[in-house]
Amino acid sequence: MNIEGRELSWIRQHERIVDGVTLTVGPGETLGLIGPNGSGKSSLLHLLAGLRRPSSGRVYLDHEPIDGFSRRQVAQKVALVAQHSTTDADLRVEEVVRLGRIPHRGPLQGWTQSDVEHVEQALVQAGLVALRHRRWHTLSGGERQRTQLARAMAQQPGVLLLDEPTNHLDIQHQLDLLTRVRALATSNIIALHDLNLAAMFCDRLVVLSEGRLVAQGAPEDVLTPALIWRIYGVDAAVERSPHHGKAQIHYLV
Ligand SMILES: Nc1ncnc2c1ncn2[C@@H]1O[C@H](COP(=O)(O)OP(=O)(O)OP(=O)(O)O)[C@@H](O)[C@H]1O
């Protein structure tokens, strides 16, 4: 599924938090959203997920305006794993993952074989089979993060939006999660702070600064020392890694 944001703006208290952003992502593609704290990444993801209404501009799913779909239809197509996703009830891991099936079930429809299979697959994909009976409040930060990812995968979306999904994860799980996401056939947009991970796992990057899109393109074209200085005020050297061939950033402090 293709997702497109066209000239998206979101104004709060007279401030343009997202300012005229246009972007598009196609199936199997992974777009990295980078930018300093407060540059509008989460706000943009919420607009793209249809959870906030843009002040101007529009979101399109497969070229159809998102406002033409019901909430349920949008939830069948787009999954967002927000930065501080949580759950109120003290559910078990597999119960949280089952919540991902809600958009696909009618009000009177029972639990189908297809629902069971998608939940099982999501538990396996997120490496949570051994934790399936654990209660939410007993999970570590990283285990909660993976549970939320599994919930989103069980939702079988065409578009997967992830807000800093590698927070709380150890390095093995960071690499594992991004490898799994990249392998999906979904259109993926991932807000990331780690520029080296962004370079390794994203096909394209979009850079936000003060709500505006200030650069976009292939990681090796976007992640230049000049851009890193301009956006973050940090001195950096960038080279192509002799090991994996992607851009690698060295911070010079
Ligand atoms: N509901 C709101 N009302 C007013 N201001 C808001 C609201 N939501 C976000 N903001 C402000 O908008 C700006 C962008 O926030 P946002 O969370 O989108 O940035 P971000 O790039 O995801 O930041 P971070 O990297 O710190 O997670 C911030 O200054 C934030 O305080």
pLDDT by residue for the chain (253 residues), tens only, comes to: 999 999 999 999 999 999 999 999 999 999 999 999 999 999 999 999 999 999 999 999 999 999 999 999 999 999 999 887 676 678 999 999 999 999 988 777 788 899 999 999 999 988 899 999 999 999 988 889 899 999 999 999 999 999 999 988 889 989 988 998 998 899 999 999 999 999 999 999 999 999 999 999 999 999 999 999 999 999 999 999 999 999 999 999 8
101 alpha carbon to ligand 1 midpoint, in Å? 29
DSSP 151-180: HHHHT--SEEEEESTTTT--HHHHHHHHHH
pTM for the model = 0.94
Residue 12 Cβ inside 6 Å of ligand 1? The answer reads yes
Give the mutation target among 8, 43, 190 for probing the ligand 1 site: most ligand atoms within 8 A of CB.
43
- Residue 233: phi and psi, rounded to 5, are 65, 30
Residue 39 Cβ inside 6 Å of ligand 1? The answer reads yes
- Residue 80: phi and psi, rounded to 5, are -115, 130
Q: What ipTM, to 2 d.p.?
A: 0.97
Dig out the tokens for 60 from the structure. Answer: 């399109």
- Residue 85: phi and psi, rounded to 5, are -60, 135
Residue 41 Cβ inside 6 Å of ligand 1? The answer reads yes
38 alpha carbon to ligand 1 midpoint, in Å? 5
Q: What torsion do the CA atoms of 70, 73, 75, 76 make, to the nearest 10 degrees?
A: 180
Domains of the chain (ranges, CATH numbers): 3-251 (3.40.50.300)
Closest ligand 1 atom, CA of 208?
21
Residue 13 Cβ inside 6 Å of ligand 1? The answer reads yes
